[in-house]
Amino acid sequence: METLLLAWFERNARPLPWRKTQDPYAILVSEVMAQQTQVDRVVPRWQRWLERWPTVEALAAATAAEVITEWQGLGYNRRALNLHRAAQQVAARGWPDDLAALPGVGRYTADAVECFAFGRDVLPQDVNVRRVIDRTGVLFTSAAAQALMDLGATVCLARVPRCEICPLASGCPSRGRRYEPLRKQGPFEGSFRQRRSAALRAVVAGEQPDDEEAVAALARDGLVAVRDGLVSLPSAAP
């Protein structure tokens, strides 16, 4: 099955810019940005980020306020702080043997960077990769990692897989099955996440938000600093 998958990938690979590099820093940025964010939104932001901070040392030298400001619009702002802290750690000590030791880097992200940047024989398993493995029952190698990601993202979909165009359909035991919708996160509109986001945007714009609960949550995450009743970005605290 892997041979069929790789042949399909040669014809259908998504043209993602981070696939043209083996720079572990650039790949780490792409993986962190792509967590819970659509890939088409990530591409221009990844390019802009790398133009501003082209190396891990450049990002490490930035302020937390600069990083948080640049991240606006990508959501889940703690990812930005963790990426900044990871860059500082790498700049000071080099890349660790196990990248999961870096702030905010989980097993999947560590495996992805180790596979795509360092060429290690490990198969990173995100939700798309696990779905294909679970449905086919095949143990793929790390050489199929990118192909599995694309197949899961574009063909082997969560609810209604597109079996009619799948290169693995002829040998797949799950062919033709339909699946119950997965439990989704609650709507953003009217949520506390929206209030946090609005409060942080206000601080980035130099304003003082009036949502004390949201500000307190942001402060606990290190995204803002509060002193003498004034709220500011971390490096800009009075």
Residue-range domain boundaries for the chain: 23-116, 127-171, 192-236
pLDDT at 14 over 80: yes
- Smallest CA-to-CA distance from 223 within 77, 83, 88 is with 77
pLDDT at 209: 87
Q: d(Cα 156, Cα 164) in Å, to the nearest integer?
A: 10
Q: Which carries the bigger pLDDT value, residue 182 or residue 91?
A: 91
Report, as residue numbers or ranges, the catalytic residues. Answer: 31
**pLDDT band for position 32 (50/70/90)?**
very high
pLDDT at 237: 41
- Smallest CA-to-CA distance from 216 within 204, 235, 228, 199 is with 199
What is the pTM for the complete model shown?
Answer: 0.87
pLDDT at 183 over 70: no
CATH number of 23-116: 1.10.340.30
Query: What is the token pair recorded at 191?
Result: 């949520």
pLDDT at 167: 97
Residue count of the chain: 238
pLDDT at 238: 37
Amino acid identity at 152: G
Q: Stretch 57-61: mean pLDDT, rounded?
A: 98
Count other Cβ atoms within 10 Å, centred on residue 9: 18
User: Which range is least confidently modeled, 12-16, 153-157, 198-202?
Assistant: 198-202
